[in-house]
């Protein structure tokens, strides 16, 4: 590891950046250095601006992705190298609001039956049953499964906050069978090295492989399971405030967007076309 990279990582740790943010920022600076085949501290301001333009116009990356790269480069030059002239800025744009893709219960059953590996199957079941982010999923420890309370303790989730979420009896049964087979010592889903947790990318690949094997062609990665958790709870009549607490949303507005994708809610709304078929109406079908 270079001295510059270590210096940047130390600066981020001092400011309490999450591991995912640290990784994202380091990769952004490394991408700049690779593009010019030069150490980032020797790259000029105009070159940095040209690189951002390249990401937007040539590589067609989204505005939000370019903004993250700009934030990472701004942090590196201003905070790490103390170069105030590198205050990069991208004009704000309205973010695209895309509704999450939701799997049906039949698709969920096919998804969970697809993996031949018990560990992979239980991993996906846990993500859905508890509504976990992938970073929370892979950092679960055996002791976080609190069967006496029928709760799962999520440690240091987004915003560095602990929370509890529900433990499904069906999931608990699957976890017990899984534990008897694999005996994970600390991390519930360890990686190749049992003293380390599974990588997030590995969990994502497990989901994608299972989705294809189940014949599901919908877009979206493993985070889809978290969306399904919230939507299916809402369709089952669970109130928004409870779902907000289970998911660890800071704002109820984040939870409310699932109102837009609940089939039960939408099915209760009658189309104005149906209203034209009332008794006495002369409208022909």
Q: Catalytic positions, please?
A: 133, 158, 223, 226, 249, 258
Phi, psi of 272 (to 5 degrees): -60, -20
Asked whether 278 and 270 are in contact (CB, 8 A), the reply is no
Q: In what order do the strands lie in the sheet with 163-166?
A: 145-146, 151-154, 163-166
Bridge partners of 152? 145, 165
58: left (phi over 0), alpha (psi -120 to 50) or beta: alpha
Asked whether 229 and 242 are in contact (CB, 8 A), the reply is no
The whole-angstrom separation of Cα 27 and Cα 29 is 6
């Amino acid at each position: 590891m270079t001295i510059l990279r270590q210096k940047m990582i130390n600066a981020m740790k001092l400011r309490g950046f999450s591991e995912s943010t640290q990784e994202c920022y380091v990769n952004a600076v490394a991408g700049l250095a690779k593009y010019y085949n030069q150490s980032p501290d020797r790259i000029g301001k105009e070159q940095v601006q040209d690189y951002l333009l390249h990401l937007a116009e040539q590589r067609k990356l989204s505005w939000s992705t370019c903004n993250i790269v700009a934030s990472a480069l701004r942090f590196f030059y201003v905070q790490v190298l103390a170069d105030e002239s590198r205050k990069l800025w991208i004009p704000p744009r309205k973010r695209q609001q895309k509704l999450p893709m939701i799997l049906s219960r039949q698709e969920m059953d096919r998804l969970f039956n697809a993996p031949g590996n018990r560990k992979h199957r239980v991993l996906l079941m846990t993500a859905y049953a508890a509504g976990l982010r992938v970073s929370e999923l892979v950092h679960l420890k055996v002791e976080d499964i609190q069967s006496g309370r029928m709760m799962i303790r999520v440690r240091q989730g987004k915003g560095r906050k602990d929370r509890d979420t529900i433990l499904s009896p069906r999931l608990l049964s699957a976890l017990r069978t899984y534990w008897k087979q694999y005996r994970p010592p600390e991390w519930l889903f360890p990686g190749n090295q049992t003293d380390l947790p599974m990588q997030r990318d590995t969990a994502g690949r497990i989901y994608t492989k299972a989705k294809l094997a189940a014949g599901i062609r919908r877009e979206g990665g493993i985070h889809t399971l978290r969306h399904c958790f919230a939507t299916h709870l809402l369709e089952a009549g669970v109130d928004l405030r409870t779902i907000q607490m289970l998911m660890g949303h800071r704002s109820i507005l984040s939870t409310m967007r699932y109102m837009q994708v609940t089939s039960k809610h939408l099915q209760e709304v009658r189309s104005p076309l149906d209203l034209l078929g009332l008794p006495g109406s002369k409208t022909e079908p």
